[in-house]
Structure 1
Amino acid sequence: MVPAPLLATIEREQPASTLLVYVHTRPDFTPPAAVQPITTDELLDSGYTDRADLIFIGQNCLQDEKEKLMQLVAKCRDILSSRVLVEMGGNAALNEQDMLALAFTHYAVTETESGETQYYYFDLKTYKPVPDWLNPKFWANPQNWDKFRW
């Protein structure tokens, strides 16, 4: 069964290409159309640089050592896509602080028979709101022209 947050994200964002990251065995659900499965080892290969509109990292990928997982998530976020969705179960090596430190936001929570599953999402367009002072309105300070000597 396809996770509901993944289906909702695909429906809302309409990505042209989506990568579905898994470890060694393919996920136990049939991915939607235009979703390409890939292993973590292929993704972490230094020669792999194909970009995708959305990357989904399933919870079976998050049971490796923490440093490798941080590299995987950071490479997906920084190099391979501007939108990343991470599924975290109860036995993941990463925790909420790690995901927040990587600029992910808490996206959704689903209940399954095996427990609670957390979803974290990163979108480059919305990860940091633009501050009010960051606009060209007062940059030149025209009200101070000929009033002060700088």
Structure 2
Amino acid sequence: MIDIDTLRRQLPARLRRGTPLVLTLHPDATRESGDDLRSATPQALLAEPPVRRESLVLVLDVLAEMDTATGQQLLGGLRDRWAEETLILHRRRDTRWDLNAFLALGFRREPAAETATPEHAVYRTSLYDYKLTPDWLNARFWANPEMWDRARW
């Protein structure tokens, strides 16, 4: 079983708070661990998506048991509609899902968190930092006040 507390210590502070929704193939195993976790299966989430976004969703070893198209549907739904933050723990020995597959879906590798789970690759996406703001995107380049009296466009 994955030690969620050790994993949380390796992550940004906002991921350490709150109660995550854990997607696992065996939701009863997370209930027995004694942690205050909510759990569901990926099939249940796809059949009945949440009404509002979850603050954090942990995806634990479910992609290896799913076909690629269903896995992409699950991860795309989590990224776009169902979760503010998504953290995926994926076994390295599953060759169907490599780094490029996760990058194509907008996930980033989180090497600092992999110290807590060495047999897993950890990927993350967040609404809060998924896109860096480019330096050209500011008012200085948009108004162009030095050209107001010189050119008409």
What's the TM-score, normalizing by structure 1? 0.82
Aligned length: 146
Residue identity in the other structure for 1:140? A
Retained in 2: the 8 A contact 1:63–1:92? no
Residues in 1 aligned to 2:104 and 2:149: alpha-carbon distance in whole angstroms: 47
Deviation for aligned residue 1:30: 1.9
Of stretches 85-94 and 69-78 in structure 1, the one that deviates more from structure 2 is 85-94
Distance 1:149 1:58, change over 3 A: same
What's the TM-score, normalizing by structure 2? 0.80
Residues in 1 aligned to 2:102 and 2:147: alpha-carbon distance in whole angstroms: 45
Q: Pick from 116, 126, 130: which aligns with 2:129? A: 126
- Where relative contact order (Cα < 8 A, 6+ residues apart) is larger, the structure is 2
What is the match of residue 144 of structure 1? 147
SS of structure 2 residue aligned to 1:49: coil
Of stretches 62-71 and 20-29 in structure 1, the one that deviates more from structure 2 is 20-29
Identity of aligned residues (%): 25
Residues in 2 aligned to 1:45 and 1:72: alpha-carbon distance in whole angstroms: 11
Residues in 2 aligned to 1:59 and 1:95: alpha-carbon distance in whole angstroms: 14
Q: Does 1:5 align with 2:7?
A: yes
Consecutive unaligned residues in structure 1, runs of 5 or more:
none
RMSD: 2.5
SS of structure 2 residue aligned to 1:120: strand
Q: Does 1:23 align with 2:35?
A: no
Consecutive unaligned residues in structure 2, runs of 5 or more:
none
SS of structure 2 residue aligned to 1:62: helix
Which has the larger share of strand? Answer: 1
Distance 1:44 1:55, change over 3 A: same
Q: Pick from 59, 73, 88: which aligns with 1:71? A: 73
